[in-house]
């Protein structure tokens, strides 16, 4: 679903009022945002539709999948996902209720706990990840290896403080 973005001519009129506005910068960012929406639709919406798996839950489950059977502390998980501890606690409660995760005492820190995927969680991730990564591969297959590397560097440059 392609949305209309302002033309360079329209943005140049705004730049006459506020000279700090760079029309090509605005157009470039709007194109990035539009592409992100379309990528989200092609990659994440499939998981939401077929598996009722939100982007946030997917991110949490991928990190748990990567932590293997060692598990990860809820606070580390919240940090890696980029959400508050309260948010991660609520997500983990729902995932535990659904039989996807379990928690256990952290041997290194007797007061703390770690979270891990259950067998059901592992099976679920092993079912969805190959198709998920294949959709991403096909989408990014339109770019050469060099173009993908350049894209990564450019995106990092945009978000770098």
Q: Specify the CATH number for the domain of residue 99.
A: 1.10.10.10
Task: Tell me, yes or no, whether 107 and 88 share the same domain.
Answer: yes
Task: Tell me, yes or no, whether 66 and 9 share the same domain.
Answer: no
Q: What is the pLDDT of residues 87-121, one digit of tens each?
A: 999 999 999 999 999 999 877 777 789 999 999 99
Domain membership of residue 32 as a residue range: 1-52
Task: Tell me, yes or no, whether 72 and 151 share the same domain.
Answer: yes
Task: Tell me, yes or no, whether 131 and 118 share the same domain.
Answer: yes
Into how many domains does the chain fold? 2
Task: Tell me, yes or no, whether 35 and 60 share the same domain.
Answer: no
Could you give the CA distance from residue 7 to residue 5 in angstroms, rounded to a whole number? 6
Task: Tell me, yes or no, whether 40 and 63 share the same domain.
Answer: no
pTM of the model: 0.79
Q: What is the pLDDT of residues 49-72, one digit of tens each?
A: 999 999 899 999 999 999 988 899
């Amino acid at each position: 679903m392609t949305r209309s973005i302002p033309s360079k001519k329209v943005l140049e009129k705004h730049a006459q009022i506020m000279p700090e506005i760079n029309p090509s910068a605005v157009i470039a960012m709007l194109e990035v945002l539009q592409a992100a929406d379309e990528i989200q639709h092609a990659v994440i919406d499939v998981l939401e539709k077929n598996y009722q798996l939100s982007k946030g839950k997917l991110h949490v489950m991928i990190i748990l999948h990567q932590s293997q059977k060692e598990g990860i502390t809820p606070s580390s998980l919240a940090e890696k996902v980029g959400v508050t501890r309260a948010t991660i606690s609520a997500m983990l409660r729902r995932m535990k209720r659904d039989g996807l995760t379990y928690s256990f005492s952290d041997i290194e820190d007797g007061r703390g706990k770690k979270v891990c995927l259950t067998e059901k969680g592992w099976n679920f991730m092993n079912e969805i990840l190959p198709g998920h990564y294949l959709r991403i591969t096909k989408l990014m297959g339109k770019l050469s290896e060099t173009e993908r590397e350049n894209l990564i560097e450019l995106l990092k440059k945009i978000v770098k403080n």
